[in-house]
A = this chain, B = another copy of it.
Amino acid sequence: MKKIAVLGYGVVGSGVVELFYRNQKKIENNTGEKLEIGYILDLREFPGDPYEDRVVHDIQVILDDPDVGYVAECMGGTNPAFDFVCRCLEAGKSVATSNKQLVAEKGDILLQTAKENNVNFFFEASVGGAIPIIRPLHTCLAANDISAIAGILNGTTNFILEKMFCDKMRFKPALELAQEKGYAERDPSADIDGGDACRKVCILSSLVFGKHVYPEQVYTKGIRDITLEDVQLAQQFGGAVKLIGRVVRLKNGKILPSVMPMIVFHDSSLLASVNGVFNAVMVWGDGVDKTMFYGRGAGKLPTASAVLGDIVDEVKQTGTVLSQMWKPAQEGDDFIATIDDFEAPRCYRTSPCGKGVFARIAAEVGVELIHAAENGCMISKCNQKTAEAFKQKLAHEGAEILSRIPVMED
């Protein structure tokens, strides 16, 4: 009999315990091993909780028990999570975490520590919650050269954007509704300014391209400035505004990780139809063409499902799974492109100005005019410089530029 220790008895940690006992027999059949929740580490007491006898306050108790083979880290943050996870790995215990901040900031170190101790550090729950994405990337898709990943990685912003799209709500009341429903925090900045999605882009980029990508290396722009008019212009052209976390490999071999609002067209991408608090991740590879993974990006049991899936796999693995490793970024490494290298079609929203104006300026800067309305247009793929030139020429014609949103090509 092997013990599992759960670090943090909040929403996710209690979900792990609940789901484990609900499906214990199935999990044991799958792994061929008897398992038990041995300890629950938390600063608080939980009088009356059915598992209160497992609650401990000192990580040392867990480290010292040789029967603890697997640890579910569900505390969040990096302090003390980083220290605790390091010590668990050094004590020969495999760790599964739902903590995206920990993986995005310290993943390379923790993977190395796991390797040195011949155990595993798994983090399926850190991206896309319940959605199987980390493991399929390095197992099922192992024979692919993956060139890009793009997804809806934050459910809160997707909920807000859907309310703007479907119910014609303005940003502020849509955010307030998300807060009422418990989808957004009282301080919603981590979601709406893109920080949460940014961490997930770091993790996906590091895994797929093999070197650690840090949050500050990801161009990150949230949805705070998206207006109902922006959403409606996109809708008029057949698309929806989504907060897209993305990493693409450019022709020069560098990768460009980004988080920004982009317009996704219904007739070309399934991402446009992903609504509510759901997440979805599209992956492009030379074998699969494209494949998408969809599901709940957060929540008690969905996140617990991913953590326990990792623990099940840890029980079955006899050593470190090297295909899920990446290297630390070295000083002087120059593999991450800046936003200057970004190319995409764009939608401009402007003060009213005739369609003829858009067509003429598009011809002048050498792009195609894809859509035009009274108060905006969409032009074909171009680099930042051309997009800026288009904007300046518009301004020169007396048009006020109210927004510029890139379009995601599938």
Chain B residues lying within 8 Å of A293, measured Cβ to Cβ, are 132, 291-294
Tell me the chain A residues, 14-55 only, with Cβ under 8 Å from chain B: 19-20, 22-23, 26-27, 30-32
Q: Does chain B have a CB within 8 A of A302?
A: yes
CB distance from A159 to the nearest CB of B (A): 15
Inter-chain CA distance A31–B139, complex, in Å, is: 10
Known: A19-B143, A142-B312. A130 touches B291 (CB 8 A): yes
Interface of A toward B, CB cutoff 8 Å: 19-20, 22-23, 26-27, 30-32, 124, 130-132, 135-136, 138-145, 266, 270, 273-274, 285-296, 299, 301-302, 304-306, 308-309, 311-313, 316, 318, 321-323
Q: Is the CB of A30 within 8 A of B141?
A: no
Inter-chain CA distance A26–B312, complex, in Å, is: 26
Q: Is the CB of A142 within 8 A of B286?
A: no
Known: A30-B138, A130-B287, A294-B294. A23 touches B143 (CB 8 A): yes
User: Which of A27, A270, A274, A296 counts the most B-chain CB atoms under 10 A from its CB?
Assistant: A270
Inter-chain CA distance A374–B370, complex, in Å, is: 39
CB distance from A123 to the nearest CB of B (A): 12
Q: Is the CB of B295 within 8 A of A30?
A: no
Q: Is the CB of A23 within 8 A of B302?
A: no
Known: A270-B274, A289-B302. A323 touches B30 (CB 8 A): yes
Q: Is the CB of B132 within 8 A of A291?
A: yes
